[in-house]
Each structure stands twice: as structure tokens, then as C-alpha cells.
């Protein structure tokens, strides 16, 4: 996998367009003066978590004695489930009865799991276990995907006005179709690696 492929894959699983409605919903609880500060804080927290996972994830796998093909198969399954939710969206808003009007989101749910979610972590594990010598390349791909995601979420009100609700849903479904193909490829690659080692 090269830089462009890794960037596209990470960007798709971060799903910034699909996350716009819930980001706006969460930030509506925050005073206008603090919204961008909170958004930037949550995005930076997500980046720190993803980089920690990128740098330390392979050591956790080694400690647990997990193979590369098991990560590939598991990552493919997780991505497939995420893709199905993108194609057939369900309501992702939180129960407003559980929150006060002045409740300010911290770490959850904006940083984790909306940006630094399990699918992004699975991709990072797959990249670092598959080609650990390309850590610098994966770090660049992660930063670029995060930067693109951050830019879209910073412009969320404008994008929502331009695309509208139907436009956002249509775009998310197209990204979901792309993610289905990627997840199937990951799953089949993991199976083929397992069969090669078993044979």
C-alpha cells in the first residue's frame, strides 16, 4: 500500500462528512465563543490517540501474539460493518435527556469514537504490522487524513448548508460503497495469507 491509498483509506474510515450532523449537534450545547476551541481540542486529542496507536499498536499485538492475517481479517470485518452503517445509515445522535444544556463534550464522543474510531485503529494496526519499515509514510498518511478531516469538520456548518441533508447522506453512501470494496479486499488478503502459511 502506498501513501495515497493509505490516506484515502484512513480518510474514508474517519468519515468526516457522515459525522457532520452529530458534531454540529454536540457543539450546539457549547457556547458560541467556545465552539471552535472545543472542536480543535477534540481533533487534537483524536490525533494524539491515533498516533499513540500507530506507534505502540504493533507492540501490543506482539504481546498478545496476534498474527498479521488475523488483524487483516478482523479489520476487514470491522470495516465491512462500518461500511454497512454508512450505506444504510441509522440515527447516531445521543440521548439528549442524559445531558445538560451546558454539558461540554470531552474526548467522547467527538474525539473517540467519531474521529479516532475502531476502524481507523484497525487500519493503523494493519499498516504497521504489514510494513513496519514504512512508519514514516504511515505517519504522513495519518496526518494528512486527519488534516482533511479536521478541515471538513471546521467547515461543517457551511458544508451542511451547501450539500443539505440529502447531499451528505448520498456522499456518505458513496464512501460506504468504496469502503465495502476495501474491506472485502482486506478480508480476502487475510484469508489468503492464512492459507499460504497453513499450506
Higher-pLDDT residue of 14, 119 = 14
Q: How does pLDDT run across 137-180, given as a tens digit for each residue? A: 999 999 999 999 999 999 999 999 998 888 888 888 888 888 88
Specify the range with the lowest mean pLDDT, choosing from 73-87, 111-125, 134-148: 73-87
Residue 56: C-alpha distances to residues 69, 76, 99, 128 (Å)? 19, 21, 34, 10
Q: Which domain holds residue 114?
A: 3-198
What is the rounded CA–CA span in Å between residue 157 and residue 185?
A: 35
SS3 of the chain: the string is CCHHHHHHHHHHHHCHHHHHHHHHHHHCCCCCCCHHHHHHHHHHHHHHHHHHHHHHHHHHHHHHCCCHHHHHHHHHHHHHHHHHHHHCCCCCCCCHHHCCCCCCCECECHHHHHHCCHHHHHHHHHHHHHCHHHHHHHHHHHHHHHHHHHHHHHCHHHHHHHHHHHHHHHHHHHHHHHHHHHHHHHHHHHHHHHHHHHC
Looking at the structure of the chain, the number of domains it has is: 1
pLDDT of residue 91: 62
Whose grid coordinates read 504511515?
138
Do 143 and 137 contact (CB within 8 A), yes or no?
no
On the question of pLDDT at 95 being above 90, the answer is: no
Instruction: Compute the average pLDDT of residues 168-194.
Output: 86
Do 18 and 83 contact (CB within 8 A), yes or no?
no
Amino acid at each position: 500500500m502506498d501513501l495515497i491509498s493509505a490516506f484515502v483509506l484512513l480518510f474514508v474510515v474517519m468519515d468526516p462528512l457522515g459525522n457532520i450532523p452529530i458534531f454540529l449537534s454536540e457543539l450546539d450545547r457549547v457556547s458560541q465563543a467556545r465552539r471552535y476551541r472545543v472542536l480543535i481540542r477534540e481533533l487534537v486529542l483524536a490525533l494524539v490517540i491515533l498516533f499513540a496507536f500507530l506507534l505502540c499498536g504493533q507492540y501490543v499485538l506482539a504481546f498478545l501474539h496476534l498474527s498479521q492475517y488475523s488483524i487483516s481479517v478482523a479489520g476487514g470485518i470491522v470495516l465491512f460493518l462500518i461500511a454497512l452503517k454508512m450505506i444504510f445509515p441509522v440515527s447516531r445522535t445521543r440521548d439528549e435527556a442524559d445531558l445538560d444544556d451546558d454539558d461540554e463534550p470531552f474526548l467522547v464522543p467527538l474525539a473517540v469514537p467519531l474521529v479516532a474510531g475502531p476502524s481507523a485503529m484497525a487500519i493503523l494496526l494493519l499498516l504497521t504490522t504489514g510494513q513496519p519499515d514504512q512508519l514514516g509514510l504511515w505517519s504522513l498518511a495519518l496526518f494528512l487524513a486527519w488534516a482533511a478531516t479536521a478541515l471538513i469538520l471546521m467547515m461543517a456548518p457551511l458544508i451542511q448548508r451547501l450539500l443539505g441533508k440529502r447531499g451528505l447522506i448520498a456522499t456518505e453512501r458513496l464512501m460506504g460503497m468504496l469502503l465495502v470494496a476495501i474491506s472485502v479486499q482486506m478480508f480476502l488478503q487475510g484469508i489468503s495469507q492464512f492459507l499460504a502459511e497453513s499450506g
